[in-house]
Chain A
Amino acid sequence: MKHAEGQVDFKVIGTTPERPDGIEKVTGRARFADDIHLPRMLFGKILRSPHAHAIIKGIDTSKALALPGVHGALTGEDFPQLESTVISHGGASTIDIKDLAENCIARDKALYDGHAVAAVVADNYHIAEQALELIEVDYEILTPVLEIEDALKDDAPVLHETFSPGGFILQTEKSHSNAGSFKLRLGDADRAFQNADHVLEETFQTRCVHQGYIEPHSVTVEWSHNHIMSVWTSTQGHFAIREQLAFILRHPLNKVKVTPMEIGGGFGGKDQVYIEPIAAMFAKNTGRPVKIAMSRADMLRGTGPSPGANIRVKLAAKKDGTLLGADLTLAYEAGAYPGGPVTSAALQATARYNIPDQQILGHDVLLNKPKMKQYRAPGGLPVNFAMESMLDILARKLELDPLEVRLTNAMVTGDRMITGIPCQKIGGKELLKAVRKHPHFTSHLTGRNPGRGLAYAMWFGAGMTSSAALTANPDGSVKLSVGTPDLSGTRMTLAMQAAETLGIPVSSISVSIPDTDSIAFSFMAVGSRTTHSTGLAVYEAAQQLLRRMTERAALYWDVDETDVTFSDGMFNNQKDSTLTLTFTEMAHLLEKLGGPITVQSSVTPKSNGAQLTAHLVDIDVDTETGKIEIQRYTAFQDVGKAIHPDYVSGQMQGGVAQGIGWALSEAYQYDEAGHLLNTTLLDYRMPTSLDLPDIETVILETPNPNHPFGVRGVGESSIMPPAGALANALYDAVGIRMTALPMTPGAVLEKLKKKQRGS
């Protein structure tokens, strides 16, 4: 594979062409999942448990079925009974299909407020809603468990009598009746603590938040007479949806066709089925297309938010700020089913620092809340908040500059992470030095109570399998099909990689993301992998295309294939240097030389390059209201190579905005009975345009040696630093150390008052 390190002379990479779907989106013509209308379509609605923990003793749908306009009703018993089976999507992430199916519709127990228990299908949503009210469910209410500390007690209410601790957990034994646990260790942390000049310890708490994508989940399913299930849905991974549907409904994989519609945000929350199995079952039973869409309350209550956590950090340091050891305990909510993001959190907790002796104990804690899932870097923000706060506490205790302490400890290429794996090529120190050199770092702070804070983060992302198909047409146009849904413009960054390789303008490439019948298997758009891994598939496909066209050129010129080379967009005849053909000219000749050429490539790269990011934030604090006003925010990220700099910058800005919401205003609020109280976007408070400043971005490029253009994943790590950066800025401003999120005005005010009282 050609490596692009050192190559600066790209023609397409690094430019900023307009994306092809831009026009469709600004005119409202782009088709999202709910924009589908099929003839004689019916509409489904789902009844959700109002109890956080209850045995379902019986469900009577007869009155609902009697309502005119209702065509069917379902409960969990109408679905195949499954055994606990772990499936892995193409050898990647693992999921227990029985848990997944029961999360979609409960069988014996409702495990959280919002857990689906029954459903109806009707002529329209209004009739369906009326019908839901006629369903009678006999619940035996059980005591819910809602807090991590309570779930870990010996006498805690038990959610599952037996469970396997979940796909991400190494240890196969339960550690508590409601938790699976694991350990990671490098060296000997106890030794480090014995030898330290300073030992610091603190605990932190964060709360459950939702990914908050503006587009609700919506699915339409049609079941044909020959049992082909056609599915149109909003998803980050249509092959995962296909596999999960096939398993849940015991249907052959080759009779499930999933079309990914344009998706209005996912961020990790749209990578599994929620409403699809119910829609599919209704479509089968009625013989008509069935659409189900989730309301905002349904989504907040019944999808996969990101967990709250209790985190304990203990650090051992020398008086010059060098970290000798770290000892962390991460207890993350798993929600109603095991397998939350706690292992990912542990992997990235200390990953950017060189700490020779460290240990992490992780708990994946079951409680009566929705099954917790990823939100950009899985589990990342809570532990980054904790660690970056501790680095600052250490710096202040030693009277050292916070950035210098990070520089002292920053991991460099080859340093070992807690897994023992040596870090691949990164530019951590370069990134921190870039922060130090930036005008923001030395600018004057203004305001009544101003403060500045810094945080540093690293995430790896995922490799996994991706596929791409390329066709060269006789008119010189090129068709690119890829298997990874486009969340925010990757169809353009993939086309750019094809254009660069083929030496053609990006405008001659048209890109689509076909359904699961029409492209080879591809893993989801998650883990910051699309531009990198699908880009690799595109690159490999382009190389294959060039090889096939080289064969045709040899035919045309009547020479051996070895006498034809391709460089700088030209096929060259080594036997006669006057004879050259551009890609387009060669394409025009294809009709005469055997017709159009299509190639397909599936690749499984081993990683996608570490993402390093550092954020700098200036705030002003209103000490009468506790409100934090963000005045200036600069996000720095090493992206390897920015294929399309505006899209890269956009990803960074998006992560920052989400992290700020997580840090300052978003949190699930439950009452004592386990009811979710804030089920609207008024009370689940996401940032508006008034809450955020202009977010500046600085892109650095340490090329990833494992990608032909040096690409590293981009999308996830920028969500991690905002909470730590803001907490550090708050300390800088008014001298209070927040150890819990969100840092709402009320929480800040309370802490300020405590400080004033001297407690």
Chain B
Amino acid sequence: MNQIWIPAHLQHFTNGSERVEISGSNIRQVIRALDNKYPGLGEQLREGDMLTPGMTVAINGSVDHLGLYATLDEDSEIHFIPAIEGG
């Protein structure tokens, strides 16, 4: 099972839980499973065929630019965070 950290503004979907456990071998599956368990959460995390613009996903501490299409090798720790750029 993967451990998903839920962004603060979406924790009302998970009854205030900061972390939830969800299965899935890629981010798309994870989001679908999250939406099944917490209806409405899925459409906050994705917009059409990509993650919500401005959001990115970190898997085991590293940002994966494949976003929605990133795959998970094993049980992973997943964070949805604002995208980082630079100047």
Contact = CB atoms under 8 A, between A and B. Distances in A.
Contacts of B65: 91-92, 463-465, 604, 606
A369 interface: no
B58 interface: yes
A462 B54 contact: no
26 contacts: A91-B67, A92-B83, A92-B85, A166-B54, A167-B53, A182-B9, A268-B87, A271-B87, A341-B87, A343-B54, A347-B84, A359-B8, A377-B86, A378-B87, A419-B79, A420-B79, A421-B5, A421-B79, A464-B65, A465-B65, A526-B85, A527-B85, A528-B86, A606-B64, A607-B63, A716-B87
A88 interface: yes
A711 interface: no
A267 B87 contact: yes
Interface in B1-32: 5, 7-9, 11, 18-19
A722 interface: no
B6 to A, nearest CB: 9
- Closest 6 A-B residue pairs measured CB to CB? A527-B86, A268-B87, A374-B87, A185-B8, A606-B62, A343-B82
Interface in A338-368: 339, 341, 343-344, 346-347, 359
A649 B25 CA distance: 44
Interface string B53-72: 11100100111111100000
A155 B17 CA distance: 36
Interface in A443-489: 460-465
A529 interface: yes
B76 interface: no
Contact of B53 (A86, A346, A375): A86
Most buried by A among B53, B63, B87: B87
Nearest to B66: A91
Interface string A691-723: 000000000000000100000000010000000
Contact of A184 (B8, B44, B53): B8
Nearest to A167: B54
A419 B84 contact: no
Given A167-B53, A420-B5, A378 B86 contact: yes
Contact of A422 (B7, B61, B81): B61
A93 interface: yes
A169 interface: yes
Contact of A168 (B19, B62, B79, B83): B83
A594 B84 CA distance: 45
Interface of A: 86, 88, 91-94, 166-172, 182-187, 211, 267-269, 271, 306, 339, 341, 343-344, 346-347, 359, 373-378, 419-422, 424, 460-465, 526-529, 604, 606-607, 706, 716
A170 B7 CA distance: 9
Contacts, number: 119
A526 B84 CA distance: 11
A170 B54 contact: yes
B62 A607 contact: yes
Nearest to A376: B87
A339 B54 CA distance: 9
A171 B64 CA distance: 21
Contacts of A169: 54, 82
A93 B84 CA distance: 7
Q: Contact size class for B?
A: 20 to 34
A464 B84 CA distance: 10
Contacts of A171: 9
Given A347-B81, A606-B63, 19 more contacts: A88-B53, A92-B85, A167-B54, A168-B54, A170-B9, A182-B82, A339-B54, A344-B82, A347-B82, A359-B8, A373-B87, A374-B86, A378-B86, A419-B79, A421-B5, A461-B86, A462-B86, A527-B84, A528-B86
A375 B19 CA distance: 34
Nearest to A270: B87
A168 B18 contact: no
Contacts of A269: 87
Nearest to B81: A419
Contact of B85 (A86, A378, A420): A378
Nearest to A306: B87
A707 B41 CA distance: 36
Contacts of B55: 170
A375 B86 contact: no
Contacts of A607: 62-63
A678 to B, nearest CB: 22
Contacts of A527: 84-87
Contacts of A166: 54
Contact of B18 (A347, A420, A460, A461): A420
Contacts of B63: 463, 606-607
A187 B18 contact: yes
Contact of B9 (A88, A93, A183, A211): A183
A186 B8 CA distance: 8
A111 B5 CA distance: 39
A211 B55 CA distance: 26
B86 A268 contact: yes
Contacts of B54: 94, 166-170, 339, 343
Given A91-B67, A347-B81, A377 B87 contact: yes
A182 B64 CA distance: 22
Contacts of A373: 87
Contacts of A462: 84-86
Nearest to A86: B53
A424 B63 CA distance: 12
Contact of B84 (A91, A339, A460): A460
B66 to A, nearest CB: 8
B82 A170 contact: yes
A182 B80 CA distance: 13
A692 B60 CA distance: 43
B4 to A, nearest CB: 10
Most buried by A among B44, B63, B67: B63
Contacts of B5: 419-421
Contacts of B61: 421-422, 424
Interface string B31-47: 00000000000001000
Contacts of A187: 18
Contacts of A341: 87
Most buried by B among A168, A461, A529: A168
B79 A94 contact: no
A122 to B, nearest CB: 35
Contacts of A377: 86-87
Given A91-B65, A604-B65, A183 B85 contact: no
B46 to A, nearest CB: 12
B78 to A, nearest CB: 10
Most buried by B among A187, A267, A527: A527
B23 to A, nearest CB: 20
A158 B11 CA distance: 31
Nearest to A343: B82
Contacts of A92: 65, 83, 85
Nearest to B10: A170
Nearest to A422: B61
B18 A375 contact: no
A247 to B, nearest CB: 15
Contacts of A185: 8, 11, 18
B87 A93 contact: no
Contacts of B52: 170, 172
A187 B11 CA distance: 12
A266 to B, nearest CB: 8
